[in-house]
Amino acid sequence: MSDLPPARRSVLRGAALAGAAGLGLTACSVGGGTSTGPDKPVDLGAADAVPVGGVKYYRDEFLLVSRPSTDEYKALWSRCTHQNCPLEKIEGKVGICPCHGSRFDVTSGKVLHGPADRPLSKVPVKVVGGKLIAGPDRKA
């Protein structure tokens, strides 16, 4: 089985990433600017997917959602406030930026370790019909 080639999708994804890296287009090279959240509402699916007292990382949407109590949700933008890299690894409630090692509390956004010196951006989030909707309160 190990002789099988990787799935085409994985190959294409790897090639795209390699191409971006080769051109110096990593998320980290956005000239030091940072984004602060989605520009339109994002449907994250079932609100119950976030455990009470826990955090769920919606990696593709760059959103971290915590749920301090049954009916309370908090969302944070997962792009590092240093140079905009998306957080990669979440260990417990600590998010780690792969670019220069900043660490954040993924429930509050607080910086735990630099070089970032600003907390992760808060993103509005609400439950509509059992689904989490994060981002600005306007139509897509």
User: Nearest distance from residue 84's CB to ligand FES, in Å?
Assistant: 6
Nearer to ligand FES, 120 or 125 (CB): 120
User: Nearest distance from residue 44's CB to ligand FES, in Å?
Assistant: 23
Residues that bind ligand FES (CB under 6 A): 28, 80, 82-83, 85, 97, 99-102, 115-116
DSSP designation for 49: G
- Cα-only R_g, the chain: 17
User: Nearest distance from residue 94's CB to ligand FES, in Å?
Assistant: 14
CA pair distance 73, 28, nearest whole angstrom: 28
Peptide bond into 115 cis (omega under 30): yes
Nearer to ligand FES, 50 or 123 (CB): 123
Nearer to ligand FES, 108 or 126 (CB): 108
On the 0-12 / 13-18 / 19+ scale of CB atoms within 10 A, 120 is buried
